[in-house]
Amino acid sequence: MSVTYNENAKIFRLRAKDTDYILKIAPGGYLAHVYFGKKVPDEDLTYLLRLDENPFTPETNNRDKACYMDTLPFEYPCFGLGDYREAAFRIMDENGMSTCDLRYLSHRIYRGKPALDGLPATFATEDSGAETLEVVLEDKPAALEVTLIYTAFDKLDVITRSAIVKNVGKRPCTLTRVYSACVEFDTHEFDMITLNGSWARERAVERCRLHHGKQSVDSMRGESSHQNNPFTALCSHTADEDTGEVYGFNFVYSGNFISQAEVTQHKKTRYLMGINDLDFSWLLEEGESFTAPEVVMVYSDSGLGKMSRTFHDLYRNNLIRGEYKDKRRPILINNWEATYFDFNTEKLIDIAKEAAKSGIEMLVMDDGWFGHRDSDNSSLGDWFVYEKKLDGGLKYLVDEVNKLGLKFGIWFEPEMVSPDSQLFKEHPDWAIQVPGRELTLCREQYVLDYSRKEVRDHIYSMMKKILDSANIEYIKWDMNRQLTEVGSAVLPSNRQRELWHRYVLGVYELMDRLTTEYPHILLENCSGGGARFDPGMLYYSPQIWCSDDTDAIERLKIQYGTSMCYPCSAMGAHVSDCPNHTVGRSTPFSTRGNVAMVGTFGYELDITKIPQQDRDAIPGQIEQFNKYNALVRTGDHYRIGNMFEDNTWDAWMFVSKDKSDALFEFVQVIGRPNERSRRIKLKGLDPDKYYYEESDPDFKLSGAALMQCGINIGGIWGDYQSKIMHFMAAE
Ligand code: DGJ
């Protein structure tokens, strides 16, 4: 049993593998947080709440209830009753007042895990097993019921949380904040790790010590964003890759979010995660409900590495879906960095011909094939073929590419509209806008109002025509600007602040429709590179374009940061040409291949123009990718180097679950004078097994020696050089 209820102590215990999460119905009917961490055998840990130390508990002495409210660790704190820490829940009742009082009403425990209406969420499988606790809290005066949903996975140190709010009365009520999770810690001795950045340098790891007050990362851009990822880890000050306690939080959502840690007056920490409440409100009429998206919480007693591997296992098995979930992805060549907008049928066929010779499996036609798009200043929303460019039509092109033995993929940016488009001319009100205010342009485009079904239906029907017209086996779904002037032509004034969330729900609905009706199509998400690399998107697409920065050295940092919670097998990673188009750096072709091989793998260059020696190297790179891809997709990932601490080298490993097979990759970013080799300790092996490196089967070392003493990486001359080693357990 993963979830138990002790009636006497009024204690719920969720046990996820080796992790316990404990809550209690405290005096007054308030739901209190007792413990989150490594599992303990005890049934009743009520003493942790220190109720006996608080002279003013409502049941015994109610002369100072506010003191009780301001110190009790709450599972789902609400606003207005004397808890002056940040709340998880706030309302505006029909009188315009914000106070709310949530008390225990009922609960139920069941095997499995529920889906969330209209939202992406992790799921249980027969293999993973999971058990769910639902606790219903009520606010009698406002006639609201809040169901807190917790699921504990049997075989992973994962607890998920979400909440559903229902109006069970007759009067309307407006929700002004509905966060998804609150976790209280009895200490402030934490470091907070977040993934921050910008376009082309997404998910850089930042770590800082918690201090009094509130520390947060968030997005108000309408997407999870380049700037801050919806991920946070709280860890002990000494925690590193392999040791120390870590609590990881990741939001299964692709819009505005907040992730906040607050150190309170008594040096405790309240952690909150949910939809950002800035410019948010949601009107609940009689009988209506609102569902807050899921937060995934991972506990690790052995550092950041174990936390990441837990996230990776969960997302690979219990979030990503579809035909490609457990499959090697086709090796693609994308024409974006090869041609940008300057291509035609002939050019694409030339690329495909050369790609076919090298063993590449799919051609992806990127931006510029529709309307009259020759630059980024027109045609978004006009999803019909630009006949002048695609001479002979789309079907002809796809058939020719197929004849060469390649699959065909296509780019869309379905959420956008150009002012210079038929769509905008016919439906100017379909763009998100505020009447009487100038629409802000970004990359010369506006955002469509995806809260409107007719808008989604229209876009979908255009996409469908294209998809049905030729043998298309892959879609790159791009999204290249953030939201401004957020207003809808159809929502009433008291629902305008719902648009941010309704927009995200609309995107999810269309992605769901697309992947349901075209299950054979591989969907890759993208947002100006990696601005929507989040678990919400992984639910619909098994891979996401990691960043527009394709430089192998910059990618070391980007892929390292992304791997904090996202599996490498989901990272869109390509070999591009040099000097790199983003940073102007030149790196060896082999290093570009070795770095991209960690992700989905492909090429983003004009294969007809690259140096012959690079072209000649492609079949070998493909062979190497094929050899190791199963290990990358299913094995355990170990970070060894850390470019944020020492940017002269990087290294990582993938180790099979049975520890018999391991891939080690090393990148020497900067060569060092007067040093013949570098000592690197391997990770994740079985200390008792003996291993040999594939190139030297006669020399065997124990896993213990490889991990404790390390190996000498030598013979590498120059900057940006890399090396791959393959360790196998000896019989
Ligand atoms: C941004 C993406 O990240 C690129 O890969 C490319 O598809 C462009 N958009 C096309 O406009």
Token digits for 246?
């870590």
Place of tokens 């979010």: 257
Q: Is 145 in the pocket of ligand 1 (CB under 6 A)?
A: no
Q: What angle do CA 139, 141, 144 make, to 5 degrees?
A: 40
Place of tokens 């409210």: 69
Determine which residue's CA is closest to atom 10 belonging to ligand 1: 367
Find the 601 Cα to ligand 1 centroid distance in Å: 17
Q: Is 367 in the pocket of ligand 1 (CB under 6 A)?
A: yes
* Res 55: pLDDT: 64
Share of the chain above pLDDT 70, in %: 99
Q: Is 691 in the pocket of ligand 1 (CB under 6 A)?
A: no
How far is it, in rounded angstroms, from Cα 235 to Cα 300?
9
| Pocket residue to mutate for ligand 1, from 480, 481, 532, 576, most atoms within 8 A of Cβ | 480
* Res 56: pLDDT: 65
> What is the per-residue DSSP string for 257-285?
EEEEEEE-TTS-EEEEEEE--TT--EEE-
Q: Is 548 in the pocket of ligand 1 (CB under 6 A)?
A: yes
**Ligand 1 nearest atom to the CA of residue 526, by list position:** 3
Please indicate, yes or no, whether the overall pTM of this predicted structure exceeds 0.95.
yes
Instruction: Find the mean pLDDT for residues 384-412.
Output: 98
For residue 13, pLDDT beyond 90:
yes
Give the torsion sign (CA, 455, 458, 462, 467): positive
**Ligand 1 nearest atom to the CA of residue 336, by list position:** 6
Instruction: Find the mean pLDDT for residues 362-377.
Output: 98
How far is it, in rounded angstroms, from Cα 466 to Cα 394?
8
Find the 337 Cα to ligand 1 centroid distance in Å: 9
| Contact by Cβ (8 Å): 705, 675 | no
Determine which residue's CA is closest to atom 6 belonging to ligand 1: 336
| Pocket residue to mutate for ligand 1, from 335, 369, 477, 478, most atoms within 8 A of Cβ | 478
Identity of the amino acid at 534: D
| Contact by Cβ (8 Å): 232, 244 | no
Query: In terms of C-beta density within 10 A (0-12 exposed, 13-18 middle, 19 or more buried), how is residue 297 classed?
Result: buried
Q: How many residues does the chain have?
A: 731
How far is it, in rounded angstroms, from Cα 637 to Cα 631?
9
For residue 153, pLDDT beyond 90:
yes
Find the 478 Cα to ligand 1 centroid distance in Å: 7
As a three-state string, the secondary structure of 117-139 is CCECCCCCCCCCCEEEEEEEEEE
Find the 469 Cα to ligand 1 centroid distance in Å: 23
Give the torsion sign (CA, 491, 493, 494, 496): positive
How far is it, in rounded angstroms, from Cα 658 to Cα 321?
24
How far is it, in rounded angstroms, from Cα 697 to Cα 699?
6
For residue 429, pLDDT beyond 70:
yes
Find the 529 Cα to ligand 1 centroid distance in Å: 7
Q: Say whether 185 sits in a helix, a strand or coil.
A: strand
| Pocket residue to mutate for ligand 1, from 532, 545, 600, 603, most atoms within 8 A of Cβ | 545
How far is it, in rounded angstroms, from Cα 259 to Cα 179?
10
For residue 674, pLDDT beyond 90:
no
Query: In terms of C-beta density within 10 A (0-12 exposed, 13-18 middle, 19 or more buried), how is residue 704 classed?
Result: middle
Instruction: Find the mean pLDDT for residues 328-334.
Output: 98
**Average pLDDT over the chain, rounded to whole?**
97
Q: Is 365 in the pocket of ligand 1 (CB under 6 A)?
A: no
Q: Is 524 in the pocket of ligand 1 (CB under 6 A)?
A: no
DSSP-assigned letter for residue 419: S
Q: Is 370 in the pocket of ligand 1 (CB under 6 A)?
A: no
Query: In terms of C-beta density within 10 A (0-12 exposed, 13-18 middle, 19 or more buried), how is residue 109 classed?
Result: middle
Q: Say whether 554 sits in a helix, a strand or coil.
A: helix
Lowest mean pLDDT among 87-96, 240-249, 665-674: 665-674
**Ligand 1 nearest atom to the CA of residue 548, by list position:** 3
Find the 579 Cα to ligand 1 centroid distance in Å: 19
Q: Is 529 in the pocket of ligand 1 (CB under 6 A)?
A: yes
Q: What angle do CA 502, 505, 507 make, to 5 degrees?
A: 110
**Domain extents in the chain:** 3-318, 332-414+450-480+502-634, 649-729
Q: What is the pairing mode between strands 721-729 and 661-668?
A: antiparallel
The pLDDT-based confidence of 66 (bands split at 50, 70, 90) is confident
Q: Which CATH number fits domain 649-729: 1.25.40.10, 3.40.47.10, 1.10.3720.10, 2.60.40.1180?
A: 2.60.40.1180
How far is it, in rounded angstroms, from Cα 515 to Cα 511?
6
> What is the per-residue DSSP string for 579-597?
S-TTT-----HHHHHHHHT
Token digits for 372?
């009259």
The pLDDT-based confidence of 52 (bands split at 50, 70, 90) is confident
* Res 698: pLDDT: 95
| Pocket residue to mutate for ligand 1, from 367, 378, 444, 603, most atoms within 8 A of Cβ | 367
How far is it, in rounded angstroms, from Cα 601 to Cα 543?
11
CATH topology of domain 332-414+450-480+502-634: TIM Barrel (3.20.20)
- 70 φ, ψ (degrees, to nearest 5): -85, -5
| Contact by Cβ (8 Å): 400, 441 | no
Find the 221 Cα to ligand 1 centroid distance in Å: 18
- HSE-CB at 534 with a 13 A cutoff on CA atoms is 32
Distance of CA 57 to CAs 24, 30, 46, 81, 88, Å? Answer: 15, 11, 14, 14, 22
How far is it, in rounded angstroms, from Cα 308 to Cα 642?
15
The pLDDT-based confidence of 212 (bands split at 50, 70, 90) is very high
Q: Which residues have a catalytic role annotated?
A: 478, 548
Q: Is 545 in the pocket of ligand 1 (CB under 6 A)?
A: yes
- 520 φ, ψ (degrees, to nearest 5): -85, -15
The pLDDT-based confidence of 676 (bands split at 50, 70, 90) is confident
Q: Is 533 in the pocket of ligand 1 (CB under 6 A)?
A: no
Find the 327 Cα to ligand 1 centroid distance in Å: 25
For residue 527, pLDDT beyond 90:
yes
For residue 627, pLDDT beyond 70:
yes
- HSE-CB at 86 with a 13 A cutoff on CA atoms is 28
| Contact by Cβ (8 Å): 312, 567 | yes
* Res 726: pLDDT: 98
Q: Say whether 625 sits in a helix, a strand or coil.
A: helix
Q: Judge if the upstream peptide bond of residue 492 is cis by omega within 30 degrees of 0.
A: no
Instruction: Find the mean pLDDT for residues 87-95.
Output: 97
Find the 485 Cα to ligand 1 centroid distance in Å: 24
Q: What is the pairing mode between strands 332-334 and 602-604?
A: parallel
Determine which residue's CA is closest to atom 9 belonging to ligand 1: 528
How far is it, in rounded angstroms, from Cα 13 to Cα 7?
11
The pLDDT-based confidence of 715 (bands split at 50, 70, 90) is confident
Q: Which has the closest alpha carbon to 356: 623, 592, 607?
A: 607
Determine which residue's CA is closest to atom 11 belonging to ligand 1: 367
Distance of CA 501 to CAs 189, 224, 567, 668, Å? Answer: 34, 12, 26, 45
91-98: Cβ within 8 A, 24+ apart: 91/139, 91/142, 91/144, 91/173, 91/174, 91/175, 91/176, 92/173, 92/174, 92/176, 92/281, 93/141, 93/142, 93/171, 93/173, 93/174, 94/171, 94/172, 94/173, 98/176
* Res 639: pLDDT: 98
DSSP-assigned letter for residue 88: S
DSSP H stretches of helix in 133-197: none
Q: Is 528 in the pocket of ligand 1 (CB under 6 A)?
A: yes
Place of tokens 């305008």: 496
Find the 136 Cα to ligand 1 centroid distance in Å: 45
DSSP-assigned letter for residue 10: T
* Res 441: pLDDT: 97
Taking the alpha carbons at both ends of the chain, their separation in whole angstroms is: 39
Token digits for 13?
């215990």
* Res 100: pLDDT: 97
Q: Locate the DSSP E strands across 483-554.
A: 522-525, 543-545
Instruction: Find the mean pLDDT for residues 243-272.
Output: 98
Instruction: Find the mean pLDDT for residues 215-226.
Output: 98
Over the stretch 575-593, which tens digit does the pLDDT of each residue have?
A: 999 999 999 999 999 999 9
* Res 135: pLDDT: 98
Determine which residue's CA is closest to atom 1 belonging to ligand 1: 528
Interacting residues of 42 by C-beta distance below 8 A, sequence separation 6+: none
How far is it, in rounded angstroms, from Cα 623 to Cα 627?
6
Helix or strand (DSSP H, E) at 209: strand 201-209
Instruction: Find the mean pLDDT for residues 173-196.
Output: 98
> What is the per-residue DSSP string for 68-117?
HHHHS-BSS-BSSSS--SPPSEEEE-TTS------EEEEEEEEES---BT
CATH for the stretch 3-318: 2.70.98.60
Helix or strand (DSSP H, E) at 194: strand 191-198
| Pocket residue to mutate for ligand 1, from 198, 226, 366, most atoms within 8 A of Cβ | 366
Interacting residues of 128 by C-beta distance below 8 A, sequence separation 6+: 153, 154, 155, 156, 317, 318
Share of the chain above pLDDT 90, in %: 96
**Ligand 1 nearest atom to the CA of residue 529, by list position:** 3
Find the 464 Cα to ligand 1 centroid distance in Å: 21
